[in-house]
Copies of this chain bind each other. A is one copy, B any other.
Amino acid sequence: MQVSSATPLSTSELDRIDAYWRAANYLAVGQIYLMDNPLLREPLRSEHVKPRLLGHWGTTPGLNFLYAHLNRIIAARQQEMVYITGPGHGGPGLVANTWLEGSYSEVYPSIGQDEAGMRRLFTQFSFPGGVPSHVAPETPGSIHEGGELGYSLAHAYGAVFDNPHLVAACVIGDGEAETGPLATAWHSNKFLDPAGDGAVLPILHLNGYKIANPTVLSRIGDEELEALLRGYGYEPYLVEGDDPAVVHQRLAATFDEVFDAIAEIQRRARIAGDTSRPRWPVIVFRTPKGWTGPAEVDGLPVEGTWRAHQVPLPAARGDAAHLAQLEAWMRSYRPEELFDDSGAPRPEIVDWLPAGDLRMGANPHANGGRLTRDLELPDFTGYGVKVSAAGETVAEPTRVLGAWLRDVVTANAPYRNFRLVGPDETESNRLGAVLDVTDKVWRGRIDDVDVHLGPSGRVMEILSEHTCQGWLEGYLLTGRHGLFSCYEAFTHIVDSMVNQHAKWLKVSRELRWRMPIPSLNYLLTSHVWRQDHNGFSHQDPGFIDHVVNKSADVIRVYLPPDANTLLSVADHCLRSRNYINVVVAGKQPQPTWLDVEAAALHCARGLGIWEWASTDTGDPDVVLAAAGDVPTMEVLAAADLLHQHLPELKVRVVNVVDLMRLQPDTEHPHGLPDAEFDAIFTTDRPIVFAYHGYPWLIHRLTYRRAGHDHLHVRGYKEEGTTTTPFDMLVRNDMDRFHLVMDVIDRVPGLARRRATLRQRMVDKRAEHREYICRTGEDLPEIRDWRWPAP
């Protein structure tokens, strides 16, 4: 690893950067401990200390040190930079730095740069009604929470894609570095275009410990660590030490070198047209955990150990020795040199910092909505499948969508603000039309046999759902647009990331200074009902259940029943802001039910009666409802059977696109008022509901509705294997024959009168089973079924 021996800082430069660092450390300690006497103008007393001491000191001094030195680079080079705080637990550090640079007080005017402001700054931290202990949406300059750990590097890459002048300085904790998502995110450098994208500077912060253990990367030795980082494709630079004066020089010299290296890589790509994959720099920053904090507490070593992780002096309020040690610790930063009489930072502490939007707490990329440009969206109705009679035209919904997305890519190419991500499935999910106009980004070796790969492009594929999600989140949080296309079952891989993004959005919406960002759009295709090649391990529709636990303000779920409704839904999602939109749609050929104008109207309503498929005239005997493409087809096939065999039965067919319409309007902004719900579903007639996912979700969404006692839901109940499409329905009792049986069983009097028809349905299921076990195929009458011509 390269170790710089240069000493670029003059004594005065070193003094001022060290003073800044001391100020940031002082403010961080103050946040963790104090609720009064912020400037230590009087001796520290017990009542100045918060009763509940919460927060994480250990990582904070390192974060502050890096922030200080990045400020030097920004000021010297007028470099646009965002700071990604992998160790988000170091929240007090980022609050401290943004307060010092002034960006904090700009968004929170009540926390001014004076003694009163400092008191509030201290008190509010981890305090009821205040700010959380982590870097969070509340923290200016942040796009990354860092509480869960694992996603900093993918976020950093996402932020710099298509931002050629931006550098994301990404601090990675050595705890975080043990996570899987982080371990593979290093490979993002194979997907970065040095010409069209910005740069990521990963800074692996080895402070050696987690909560109670050393970290893996701090204990494998420099030789293995260097090999690992080289293996990931980086050029490692080591900065190590515990003497601040020495480390200041080393880090300054190393930053000078690596920012020169970044500039040179970009020059070669942008001016010289070099398309090879560069070896980007990475910094290994090895400093003590809890640096400058108490060396020992109660006779046990603290600084440089895991004991510095949270609050090193836990009894500071109650124990005089701890209190004295806290005061000595805080005074060791010499606050009187750092803050003036009013409590403001002394000019010499901050007059060298970057100004305006170059301050990392004010960088507009970290409040991405400020920079968002609406997508140019071609009129989707021009891409619709022609439908002169319901179900007449067979189409693959995602392939139809692909053509529109191709033109979305083209229309927005000049603005470089739209990307598609996915593990490996743009083609197999039949969105391949986009590859007519753009490439999949690939900076590895490209062979003659390869197609659609290029050094830059709008499509990004890596077999890591975590990385796809992290990239896209970073891209959206910096104000751009995108779509994640994924196998439905494996979207669960990012459940926890979705949680964090949903929480981020919920809090952001409550912050007036955070501008709305484009929505996180999922296209879940290759869904549970059509895992023909894969079977049981690939069957799981539960991602919907997972997301609907999050705040109703940010969650939207769409189940377009055909190609034209998918177009309408996709158009809507790409226009929206601050949501998580989950769209489930198949890729297999299937009938198209609505022409594109009717589709747009149906999607705008979110759900509705399909009168063309119904035989009631306002007073149905039974309601057949569906949500999802396969359930819709099956409900219509059941309706067809009922119309044929029970023509006197008044059947109403209802289709649901926007799942949240089912909830009461008191629970979700899209919820249908009770009166409208009752008018559609009735309050007293049996409702047989075929649903794409786990059936209980429909009960959960509707249990307060008047007609709930009459609701009977079919869905996926965890039965499956590698089998035929229709057999999947039979195994889960959602096939047309079973739906007819359900109707017969539930409409009063029918079971007795129509026992023969019911038995015929039972026989059809048996016939199906026998046929597929013999031939491996579904019965031709099932494969070829179409809605009858009018």
Contacts and interface: CB of A to CB of B under 8 A. Distances in A.
Given A132-B537, A180-B464, A184-B184, 6 more contacts: A50-B776, A147-B538, A176-B463, A179-B465, A180-B182, A503-B718
Contacts of A180: 150, 179-185, 464, 466-467
A367 to B, nearest CB: 19
30 contacts: A54-B722, A127-B723, A128-B723, A128-B724, A128-B773, A129-B723, A136-B535, A148-B493, A176-B463, A178-B464, A178-B467, A179-B466, A180-B181, A180-B182, A182-B184, A190-B219, A210-B463, A211-B425, A212-B427, A213-B440, A213-B442, A213-B453, A214-B447, A214-B450, A216-B462, A228-B232, A310-B533, A492-B546, A542-B546, A699-B700
Nearest to A425: B211
Interface string A425-465: 11110000000000010101111011001000000011111
A134 B537 contact: yes
A126 B532 CA distance: 8
A185 B305 CA distance: 25
Contact of A211 (B131, B427, B537): B427
Given A127-B776, A180-B185, A492-B495, A428 B212 contact: yes
A481 to B, nearest CB: 23
B231 A227 contact: yes
Contacts of A51: 775-777
A549 interface: yes
Contacts of A286: none
A463 to B, nearest CB: 4
A109 interface: no
A444 B214 CA distance: 9
Give the copy number: 2
A416 interface: no
A232 B231 CA distance: 9
A582 to B, nearest CB: 15
A540 interface: yes
**7 cross-chain pairs, A with B, having the tightest CB-CB distances, nearest first:** A228-B231, A219-B444, A180-B180, A147-B537, A227-B231, A183-B184, A183-B183
A272 interface: no
A220 interface: yes
B233 A536 contact: no
Contacts of A229: 231
Nearest to A311: B533
Given A227-B231, A776-B35, A499 B489 contact: yes
B128 A727 contact: yes
Contacts of A449: 301, 304-305
Given A549-B694, A703-B703, A129 B773 contact: yes
A496 B490 contact: yes
A153 B210 CA distance: 24
Contacts of A777: 51-52
A394 interface: no
